[in-house]
Copies of this chain bind each other. A is one copy, B any other.
């Protein structure tokens, strides 16, 4: 048999199989399935019946290549397991499907190589846009290479969007949708400072990570605005996990670091730190104050409820796809590279106490 015949239950059937069964041409089948083209009622029913009989579904890839496919959108994130990533991913996915796009995902576990490879794959898939979700390690190579893929994407009529990640070098054809990372950290730290604390332990992330950097800048700036020089000894690197927070806190306690408050780079880190504090018999906020960052749902259920900064993560994801898609629509005579900066705000709960001292700082 030279030609596969797709009978009822067999392999996938093609438009020609349907055409044959209905006694019409493939073009006619395409037309009735297409919707609005004039077709006689009887032909239409015959075709529809054949479609049902064969359980036919048109091959989306073939349609795409013929120019009428479902647009696709790629998105990349470090690790979907992190609550803030999950929120952004959710926003991206919801908005994309709302706008009739398919979502191709990839998690990179922070591997830049992997990220680049996926972007290339998306280019091959002719994705309408690719969204990079969350911060990344910021190195000159990163900027150069990402700038290059942004160019490639742009040249192919697609678009790179940075979601929750700072812009590349100016001129790079990217859209960026981020939140005021540094500003949030500044406000948060200012709050802690205002309660009298002067030695605030900063439990950070990887030093080269953009998100970690932004938050640290906010921490530093808030101190300086108050005229207090932050002790470098109080800044510890780590990563954004619960375990990292736990370990860092233990270490800090073991080596006898002196501090009255701790500012964790994320709520997850804060959670781990809190447990370490409890285990050491320290009361929060009685002995030590603690703040996080992200306002994940869980933050309320820590004990004490965690003071933190709220970030509109889901909104961020939604905006990223909207921005990307709108750009695609109005692109042409100078659609300027957009840069959205969403606001954050600190949500005060019960984890920071006032530092009572005999003399004001």
Chain A residues engaging chain B, CB cutoff 8 angstroms: 9-12, 55, 57-62, 64-65, 69-70, 79-81, 83, 86-87, 89-90, 93-94, 97, 102-107, 120-121, 123-126, 152, 155-157, 241-242, 268, 271-272, 274-275, 278, 297-298, 300-303, 305
* Cβ contact within 8 Å between A55 and B124: no
* Cβ contact within 8 Å between A124 and B60: yes
Q: A12-B156, A93-B80 are in contact. Are A59 and B126 (CB under 8 A)?
A: yes
Closest to A124 in B: B60
* Cβ contact within 8 Å between B107 and A90: yes
Closest to A10 in B: B155
Closest to A114 in B: B97
In the bound assembly, the distance between CA atoms of A97 and B122 in angstroms comes to: 14
Q: Contact check: which of B61, B80, B104 meets A90 at CB < 8 Å?
A: B80
Query: What residues of chain B lie closer than 8 Å to A298, measured between beta carbons?
Result: 242, 268, 271, 298
Q: Contact check: which of B11, B60, B106, B126 meets A156 at CB < 8 Å?
A: B11
Q: Contact check: which of B81, B102, B152 meets A86 at CB < 8 Å?
A: B81
In the bound assembly, the distance between CA atoms of A70 and B61 in angstroms comes to: 12
Query: What residues of chain B lie closer than 8 Å to A106, measured between beta carbons?
Result: 93, 97, 103
In the bound assembly, the distance between CA atoms of A275 and B89 in angstroms comes to: 28
Q: Contact check: which of B58, B94, B126 meets A60 at CB < 8 Å?
A: B126
Query: What residues of chain B lie closer than 8 Å to A302, measured between beta carbons?
Result: 301-303
Closest to A85 in B: B86
* Cβ contact within 8 Å between A242 and B103: no
Apart from A60-B121, A61-B125, A274-B303, what 9 extra A-B contacts exist at CB < 8 Å? A11-B156, A12-B155, A61-B65, A62-B65, A81-B90, A93-B106, A94-B107, A242-B301, A271-B301
Q: A11-B157, A103-B104, A107-B93 are in contact. Are A125 and B242 (CB under 8 A)?
A: no
Query: What residues of chain B lie closer than 8 Å to A89, measured between beta carbons?
Result: 80
Q: A62-B65, A125-B61, A242-B298 are in contact. Are A305 and B104 (CB under 8 A)?
A: no
In the bound assembly, the distance between CA atoms of A121 and B71 in angstroms comes to: 12
Query: What residues of chain B lie closer than 8 Å to A156, measured between beta carbons?
Result: 11-12, 57
Q: A123-B57, A300-B242 are in contact. Are A103 and B105 (CB under 8 A)?
A: yes
* Cβ contact within 8 Å between B275 and A12: no
Query: What residues of chain B lie closer than 8 Å to A58, measured between beta carbons?
Result: 124
In the bound assembly, the distance between CA atoms of A302 and B60 in angstroms comes to: 48
